[in-house]
Amino acid sequence: MSNPARRALATLMPGLAAGRRRLLQMTDDVTHLRQDVARVDRDLAAANAALVHAQATLDAIHETTRQHDDRLDVLRRLVSKVEHYQPLYGVAGIVEEPARESQERARLIAEALEPVRGRRVLDIGSSLGYMSFALADRGAHVVGWEYNADNAEVARQVAAINGLPVTFLVKELTVESVRTIPHGQVDAVLVLAVLHHVIHYQGLEAAQEIVRELLDRVPVLVVELATKGEDPDLFWDASQPEDPLEVLALVKDDVDVVPIAEVGTHLSTRTRPLLRISRRQSVTVGGRSFTFDSTSYEAYAGSPIANGPWRRRYFHGRDHIVKEYLFSQDAPDNWSQIIGELYTYSTLGYHSPIHHMIELVASDIDHRGARLALARVPGTLLSEVGRPDDQVLVTVVRDVLRTLADLRDHGFRHNDVRSWNIIVNDRGAWLIDYGRAAHTPLEDDVVALAWAVSSVARGTPEPTTDLKRDLPDLSGLTGTPLEPWADALAQGERDPGTLLTTLPTAPEAS
């Protein structure tokens, strides 16, 4: 290369080198830029996913709120058209000051109708439904009649919000409407603050006939009666009789009237009588008539049988209890249990008495069903005693073991020893309900007694499981007079007579 060429190349080299460096720098910058763009894309995608999730959550919250608010808005519109006579059951913030508070009356009525669970109740003049809901919440099956259609619609909306299965019909109380009630299909009727309006608009004779027709169809009425002179300026006051009980004139010789309370109203300072009126009722068993005060569809509170197609009814009288079991293919236990109980009583009747066995007074049986009339033993079911003291538990164990020992002597097992089948009073304990009694042991009666006693000793509900053969945890009886009994059970002793010897000595119950 010539010198001029070398000099030219030397002159160009720094520029080429610098250009090369700039190209390399630009390549690095583009790479970083692409990385930055990729990172931004990822961040945008994540942000977009979070936004979509947040929007979905907001939409769900909005939908829930919208539905809830819609129902309350509907209720507010409905309430604006009615008199705020009652509180809205289970709904706050809409009716702040009802004309009448209803909680105490509802409690008193529920007590007067005990047991409430399973009862079929008609609430005539149901207004905004408070009394209907209060009873339905306690397990009653309730229908309301309300003359004012707007009131009935408010009650239906409250029922929907509370999820309570109460039906409200727009219906006027007249003799004709009462005659649409089927005989034997309703257990109790509420007629609260209604009859004085009937007297004013239809006359006293019509009100008396309504009461008679109701009691011809329904065994129990709960009535609140307005009294003349509460406020002479009230439009209905002048039409009222001097004695509010005149409304019962056509039934006075056939009913029992029990005062529940004197209740106040929003109309005056005077109180009104709240009454439980029940017809004197009777049921026939074996050609004998047994009076009763109430009926129920469960043998004890919370019985699972009451919720199934079991077709059982119990008539509760002062001196007797009548058990009625109807026969059908969907209630096979009714056949086996009532016939088994009748067989047990009939067989044991030829032997010496079983300790504290309830007396069978009369019986009926045909292809439709069976009835047993049993002598009533006053007292409380062990399952409802709460947490009894040690002496009560010792008495229970002693009396039930004596009963089980007598049954074994005659070749029987009870097969249903439960806390709800033991009655306790100040004279001892009675083992009841021989529907599963048999010559064959279906479970271990002594183990079942241990379950009943240990459960009530702990203050916990006894399990409803059948075929009890394994002992429960008896540690709760440690340090009590029943500890030797529990120890003998743990060691395998199952003979009722032998187990009796482990109990503290005490005077025998009568």
pTM, 2 dp: 0.53
* pLDDT by residue, tens only, the chain of 510 residues: 566 655 655 565 666 566 666 666 766 666 777 777 677 677 777 777 777 777 777 766 666 555 555 888 888 898 888 888 899 999 988 887 888 999 999 999 999 999 899 999 999 999 999 999 999 999 999 999 999 999 999 999 999 999 999 999 999 999 999 999 998 889 999 999 999 999 999 999 999 999 999 999 998 999 999 999 999 999 999 999 999 999 999 998 888 899 999 999 989 999 999 999 988 778 889 988 888 888 888 777 766 654 454 578 899 988 999 999 888 877 778 888 888 999 999 998 766 689 999 999 999 998 888 999 999 999 999 999 988 999 999 999 999 999 999 999 999 999 999 999 999 999 999 999 999 999 999 999 999 999 999 999 999 999 888 778 899 999 999 999 999 999 999 999 999 999 999 999 865 544
Residue 431 to residues 209, 210, 303, Cα–Cα distance (Å): 46, 44, 17
User: What is the distance between the alpha carbons of residues 325 and 334, in angstroms, rounded to a whole number?
Assistant: 6
The helix or strand, by DSSP H or E, that contains position 333, with its residue range, turns out to be: helix 332-348
Residue 327 CB burial class (10 angstroms; 0-12, 13-18, ≥19)? middle
Can you list the domains of the chain with their CATH numbers?
103-282 (3.40.50.150), 284-375 (3.30.200.20), 380-500 (1.10.510.10)
Q: Look up residue 183 and give its DSSP letter.
A: T
Residue 358 structure tokens: 């309830």
Q: Could you tell me which of 466, 467, 433 has the C-alpha nearest to residue 338?
A: 433
Residue 448 structure tokens: 């079942």
